[in-house]
Chains A and B, each alone.
Chain A
C-alpha cells in the first residue's frame, strides 16, 4: 500500500460537534495507518475511562480518520476536555496485548446472490471465477462499523476490482449482500437501499439485537471469504435462524496474516 499516512508530527484537529461532543480528527483520507492511529487512541481513551479518569466522557465513536468523543458538558467544558485529550495523546502508547480476530465468512457468489458479478468481471476483463478468487482470498480489515447497526466498512479491495458505485442505486439490496465500491467492501446487515456492486451473499446474520455481542464484526477485525454453494448457503442460513450456529467456527486459529 502506498503510504499516505498522516504526518503525526502535526497535532490532530479538535472539532466542535455541538456542546456535548467533539471530534478528534487525525486526517481526512481512507488509509490503514490512519485507522490504526484512531483505534490506538480509542483504546487508550477507553482504558483511561475504565481507570476512572475522564469521567465526563460517555462514549466514543471511532471512524476511518477521527474519534468522536461524547461528554457531559456540565462535568467538563470542551476546553478542559480538549486539554485532557491532548495530554493523553502526548503519553507514550502502552504495548497492550491485543488479540486480532481473523474471520473466514461463507459467501455464495454470483447468480441471484451476486447480480453484479458478471458486470464486474466484464469491466475488468476477468472470468467471474477469477473475481471470486481475488475478492475472497484478500484479507480485509474492518475499518469501522456504521451507516446501519453492524454494517462493516472493510478494505482494501484488490486494485483490479476497484470500481465506482452504481449510477442508479438499488432501492432494495437484500440482507447479507457482499458488495464492493472503490477500495472498500462490505456486507449489508439489513435490507436497505444501496449503490455498491453486489458480488454475493453471506448467510450469517451480521447483526442480532438478541445476541450478547449484537454485531458479528468489530472495527479492527480481519475478514476473508470462502465461496460456498447455494446448498451450503441454505444450510448456514437455516442454522442461523434456528440459533444453532456456532459462530466461533468461522474464526480462524493463529495469526492468518
Chain B
C-alpha cells in the first residue's frame, strides 16, 4: 500500500518542482524548477533521494499535510520551523532534517523566518507523470506537477514509495547550513542591502552611462509584485539611451536576466519567466546569487555589483565544493523524536508540573489538551 498526503491547508503558492525542463525553450516553454535548487537538493539528500527527484516548494507559509495512509519519511529545508501533531500531542520540529511520519500524522509547516521559499522532500518522491521530461509545475501553462495547479486544500498527494521507510531520520546542524553563503538569508541589518552580483549585458549599451552607474550604486527593493516568473524591483529608474530606445527585436532570455522596460523599473526574470523578450537586459545575475535574489522576501533591499564571467565561474565552483562538504555533515538525529505514546504521555504529565525539559527541542512542550 502506498502512502498518501491529504492537503489540509495549501499554504502559499505551493507547487511541485524539480530541476526543471531542458530543451523546450525553442517552443516557448520556460525552464521552471525549484527557485532555490540548493535547498531542494538538501531536502532530497536528507531522505536519500537523487537530486532530480521532485519536491514540494512553498512560499512564506507552508502547507499543512496529513498522512492518511502508510508511513513516509519527509525532509524539510529552508528557514522555518514546523510542528508534527500525532494524536493529541505536538512535536516542534526544526528544518534541515528528515522525520518519519505515521498514518494520521499532521505536519504543519512554517511560516518562513527569512527568505520566502521552503521545501519538503519525501523518500522515493511523489507519484507524478512527467511532462516534457520534468515534474515541475508551470502554472501559467497549466502543466506539470499535479494537473498543472498549485496545491489546493482537499487535494491529495500520492507517494511513490511502497515500503515503509528503513533509514533513520537525519539532520544537518543549523550552524553548518548557515556556514554556506546563500542557504540561510540573514535578517536585514539597517543600511545593509543584500549584495547581488551580476555580469553586464547582453544589452547594457541600451542605457546611458549615468543609468549604468546608478544601477550599481543605488539600492533596490524587492516588490510585492514578485512571483515565480520574476522579481520586480523598486528604486532608481534607469534611463535608456534615447538614441537606442527601450525596445529591442526580441532575443533569448534566461533566469537571472534583468530586463528594463520603458518605465525604467528593472525586473529580474526567474524560472517561470519567458524564453524571449523585447526589452533591453542591462545585466544578468550570476548563478550563485540567483537563488538568493529569487527567494528574498518583498521589501528587502538589494544592491548590484558587477563581476567578470571568470569570477562568477570561480564562485560557482567554490559554492559547489561547499555544498558537497555540507552534505558530508548529515548525521542521524541524535534523539529519536518519535517517542512511544506511553512515554509521550508521561513526559507531558511531568512537563505539566515541572517544565524541566524545555531545552530539548525534541520533547513535546504542549498539547491540545493543555
Contact = CB atoms under 8 A, between A and B. Distances in A.
Interface in A76-113: 77-79
A190 B143 CA distance: 13
**Most A CB within 10 A of own CB, among B199, B202, B312, B320:** B202
Contacts of A149: 27-29, 141
8 contacts: A17-B284, A18-B254, A18-B284, A19-B286, A63-B249, A146-B28, A150-B27, A151-B28
A148 B28 contact: yes
B27 A145 contact: yes
Contacts of B275: 61, 146
B25 interface: yes
Interface residues of A, number: 46
A144 B276 contact: yes
A244 to B, nearest CB: 21
B317 interface: yes
Given A18-B254, A68-B252, A209-B131, A148 B140 contact: yes
Contacts of A68: 251-254
B166 interface: no
B322 interface: no
Interface in B168-214: 199-203
Nearest to A146: B276
B251 A66 contact: yes
Contacts of B29: 149, 214
Contacts of A79: 309
A77 B276 contact: no
A28 interface: yes
Interface in B255-298: 256-257, 274-276, 281, 284-287
Nearest to A217: B27
A149 B148 CA distance: 14
Nearest to B274: A147
B22 interface: yes
B27 A19 contact: no
Given A146-B274, A209-B143, A210-B131, 5 more contacts: A18-B286, A28-B248, A144-B276, A145-B28, A153-B250
Contact of B252 (A19, A29, A66): A66
A142 B5 CA distance: 45
B23 interface: yes
A20 B202 contact: no
A29 B250 CA distance: 10
B247 to A, nearest CB: 11
A65 B256 contact: no
B140 A61 contact: no
A153 B276 CA distance: 11
A73 interface: yes
B252 A18 contact: no
A60 B281 CA distance: 18
B26 A62 contact: yes
B252 A23 contact: yes
A225 to B, nearest CB: 21
A196 interface: no
Contact of B287 (A19, A25, A61, A207): A19
Given A146-B28, A146-B274, A147-B274, A19 B251 contact: no
Contact of B249 (A21, A29, A77): A29
A59 B27 contact: no
Instruction: List 10 A-B pairs, minimum CB-CB distance, nearest first.
Output: A68-B252, A18-B284, A146-B276, A15-B202, A19-B312, A209-B143, A215-B27, A61-B252, A149-B28, A66-B251
Contact of B257 (A17, A63, A73, A148): A17
A23 B251 contact: yes
